[in-house]
Amino acid sequence: MTTVVDEILRHVFDVCRDNTSGAVADYIPELAAVAADGFGIALATSDGHVYEVGDTQTSFTIQSISKPFTYGLALADNGEDAVARKIDIEPSGEPFNEISLDPITERPRNPMINAGAITSASLIAGRSPGDRFERIRQAYSRYAGRQLTFNDAVYRSEARTGNRNRAIGYMLRSFDIIEDDPDIAVDLYFRQCSIDVTAADLSMMAATMANNGVNPRTRERALSPALVERVLSVMTTCGMYDGAGDWVARVGMPAKSGVGGGVLAVLPGQMGIAVYSPRLDQHGNSVRGVAACRELSSKLELHFLHVTRAARSAIRGRYTVGEAPSRKRRSETEQDALARFGDRARVYELHGDLLFSGAETAVREIGNLDDELDALVIDVRGVDEVSDIARTMFDNLRTQLAATGCRASIVDPRGIMGRTASSIDPEDPAGRVFGDLGSGIRWAEELVLDRYCAGPRQPLKITTEHHPVLTGLTADQYEKVAALLEQRHFARGETIVRAGDSAAGLFLVLAGEVSSTYESRDGGRQRISTLSPGMSFGEMPLLAGTRFLLDFCADTPLTVAVMTVDDFRSLTDNAPEVKLALLSNLAAGAYMQMNTAIKSLGHFDVGR
């Protein structure tokens, strides 16, 4: 199923594709020879799903995008204090290859410019230069979730033309920032920049950062949470060189670019984004990469200052209507059908802030459900904030599910998804909006029963002689009971009995529906059960001599047959065998009611 995220990536790709400004990095011969118009965008979520468009599998060298990852390894090897004595963490406001140190501290201003990156490389532990490089390569591979390879041709090209970086190395040695042979540190830096990646790899490396340093696919830890925080902080202020301020204001994510054409961005807790496009601007950043990230940040509302909470899964619960049916009493045939086909109707309960990440996770999981799904209920009562992109994603999901024959409804009493129950046509093929979960589950059950219940359904109306409470009576016994029954009619919304009322008799439902409810602390009405023709109420106060614990209100125009308390008691003397048959049938009905209630407790919610 094509998702809203896929469509947005394609739109951003199409918008940015025709931008051919900028030029490839020509000061490294191997980079000057690449195809200038390659272009790919990859987005990896913090649970490891990757969306891709364009040339996301094209290999290119990581170049300066390597800097935060080597800096993280240097922090792990030496500790934050030791690294801080060698490298500052302040924005430079200068080009990435500037031959300078901070005039006061006499240290590289940050690890994202070449002076700081060469210093980071010099701090990597290892018994030999080869061992140190292998530790770097393995570290990068843990982020990517696969073994990354070394591009010898690019390395040799950089080594032949990298005199400016050698000058930086000797400057660092002269100030004792590098304490050993500077050529070794510079060579290691050339090698780390020459590791091949793809945009898909970079998106997973960024997602690992977003996932607190744990690769979301392999579950292998690449960096500790505290050091991830340190690295991302520096990326936020320094990752885009002298264009960092504009980046933070317009994109709002920790990021790093490389002259190989890559841009990597991290939204902590949610996702990683990577773009590949070799044409660079005057800052050394990919032209299309920057433009694509701006578009994505705007359309997906990704600016990190917009996020009010740490992102977590939006899904609080998931179950089928077979596992947790509504509290509407059903016939045995209907219960059997729901037990067999209830997995074709599912409920998803969402909670928290429904921003891009939470919505994407939920929409992706729901979109991957079996094509045979007939009904879906999405409960958003526990959701606090909803972004515009989340609303768009769920509207798109409902439409796509409708095209496969699945109708999706939303339980949204506050209208936070932008649609209210009154604004939706009940026949809308995309589904409906309900004010309570019970109504949504009953709606889903009816869809399943309409399609798969082969036997007789719960009737819309019955006569007194066909009411289950009177089943098994002889003609003579039935005549004795019928003489005591009075038909009463109630309008929709009318209360039949109230909580606290004394026993009022035995009520046999003949037509319409009636629900037992109570008033919650917030003043709302909470439904306990819904009764339809063939069912009864009032028996417990009648038999136990107690008061009603619940209100009973007509959901529709209602017809009941009522036997008063006095008439029911008179059967003890006048027709004991009739009373015994009624009690037996009432006990069977009570058992069925209890069975339904126990099933609903599997995912109990008083709103059902």
Please report, rounded to a whole number, the percentage of residues in the chain having pLDDT higher than 90: 62
In this structure, the answer to whether residues 172 and 208 fall within a common structural domain is: yes
175 vs 69: CA distance, rounded Å: 25
User: How many Å apart are CA 537 and CA 589, to the nearest integer?
Assistant: 10
pLDDT digits (tens, 9 = 90+) for 54-107: 999 999 999 999 999 999 999 999 999 999 999 999 886 666 677 878 889 999
Largest Cα separation within the chain, whole Å, is 115
For residue 457, is it within any domain?
no
What are residue 20's DSSP bridge partners? none
What is the rounded CA–CA span in Å between residue 458 and residue 157? Answer: 80
Is pLDDT above 70 for 347? yes
DSSP, collapsed to helix, strand or coil, labels residue 424 as: coil
pLDDT band at 425 (very low <50, low <70, confident <90, very high): low
For residue 42, being part of any structural domain is answered with yes
Q: 365 phi and psi, to 5 degrees? A: -65, -45
Residue type, 355: L
**Residue 585: inside a domain:** yes
Residues 275, 337, single domain; the answer is: no
Say if residue 408 is in the same domain as residue 337. Answer: yes
Position 201, amino acid: D
pLDDT tens figures, 377-389:
999 999 988 888 8
Does the residue 308 lie in any domain?
A: no
Per-residue pLDDT of 277-294, as tens digits, reads: 999 998 889 999 999 999
- 569, 575, 561, 563: which is closest to 545 by C-alpha? 569
Instruction: Report the run of H or E that residue 383 belongs to, with start and end.
Output: strand 375-386
pLDDT, residue 604, reads 44
What pLDDT, on a 0 to 100 scale, did the predictor assign at position 194? 97
Q: What confidence category does residue 312 fall into, taking pLDDT thresholds of 50, 70 and 90?
A: low
Q: For residues 524 and 566, is the Cβ–Cβ distance under 8 A?
A: no
Indicate the residue among 452, 478, 508 that finishes a domain.
Answer: 452
pLDDT at position 530 is 86
Co-location of 287 and 319 in the same domain: no
336 and 272, same structural domain?
no
CA–CA separation, 58 and 20 (whole Å): 19
Minimum mean pLDDT among 1-5, 251-255, 434-438, 546-550: which range?
1-5
Q: Which two tokens stand for residue 201?
A: 């790899």
**Quick one: 128 and 232 in the same domain?**
yes
pLDDT of residue 603: 47
**In this predicted structure, what is the pLDDT of residue 421?**
59
Could you give the 3-state DSSP secondary structure of residue 396? helix
Q: Is 289 helix (H, G, I), strand (E, B) or coil?
A: helix
DSSP-assigned states of every residue in 321-356 = TTTS--SB---HHHHHHHHHHGGGEEEEEEEEEE-H
Which pTM value belongs to this model? 0.70
Please tell me the total count of domains within the chain.
Answer: 3
List the CATH number of the domain containing 583.
2.60.120.10
Closest C-alpha among 95, 603, 38 to residue 324: 603
- Strand pairing class (486-490; 60-61): unpaired
Residue 251 pLDDT: 87
Flag whether 309 is in a domain: no
Domain interval for residue 22: 4-300
pLDDT at 426: 55
- Average per-residue pLDDT for the chain: 89
pLDDT of residue 247: 83
| DSSP conformational letter for 150 | B
How far apart are alpha carbons 219 and 213 in whole angstroms? 9
Q: Encode pLDDT of 195-231 as tens digits.
A: 999 999 999 999 999 999 999 999 999 999 999 999 9
Domain boundary among 414, 431, 452: 452
pLDDT at 98: 79
- Which range among 92-96, 243-247, 514-518 shows the weakest confidence by mean pLDDT? 92-96
Would residue 52 count as lying in a domain?
A: yes
3-state secondary structure of 211: coil
Q: Is the pLDDT of residue 372 over 90?
A: no
Predicted local distance difference test score (pLDDT) of residue 595: 59
536 vs 127: CA distance, rounded Å: 84
Q: Does residue 306 lie in a domain region?
A: no
Q: What is the CATH number of the domain that holds 99?
A: 3.40.710.10
Query: Are 356 and 499 found together in one domain?
Result: no
Q: What is the pLDDT of residue 355?
A: 83
Which pLDDT value is given to residue 439? 85
- Angle between helix 129-144 and 182-193 (nearest 10): 30
Same domain, 493 and 576: yes
Q: Indicate the DSSP class of residue 530.
A: E
Given this model, what pLDDT does residue 323 score?
Answer: 87
Contact yes or no for 322/352 (Cβ under 8 A): no
Do 60 and 143 lie in a common domain?
A: yes
Say what the pLDDT of residue 134 is. Answer: 98
Residue 334 has pLDDT above 90, yes or no: no
Pair type for strands 315-320 and 345-354: antiparallel
Q: 274, 300, 326 — which closes off a domain? A: 300
Is residue 459 domain-resident? no
First to last CA, the chain: 31
Q: What is the pLDDT of residue 606?
A: 41
Q: How many other C-beta atoms can be found within 10 angstroms of the C-beta atom of residue 514?
A: 24
HSE-CB at 25 with a 13 A cutoff on CA atoms is 25
Q: Is 183 left (phi over 0), alpha (psi -120 to 50) or beta?
A: alpha
Instruction: Please check whether residues 468 and 448 belong to one and the same domain.
Output: no
Same domain, 130 and 218: yes
The mean per-residue pLDDT over the stretch 420-442 comes to: 72
381/352 Cα distance (integer angstroms): 10
Same domain, 243 and 367: no
pLDDT at 431 over 70: no
Angle made by CA atoms 514, 515, 519, in degrees to the nearest 5: 140
What pLDDT shows up at residue 16? Answer: 96
Concatenating the DSSP letter of every residue in 20-47 gives: --SB---SSHHHHTS-TT--EEEEEETT
Task: Report the CATH number at residue 321.
Answer: 3.30.750.24
Higher-pLDDT residue of 521 and 211 is: 211
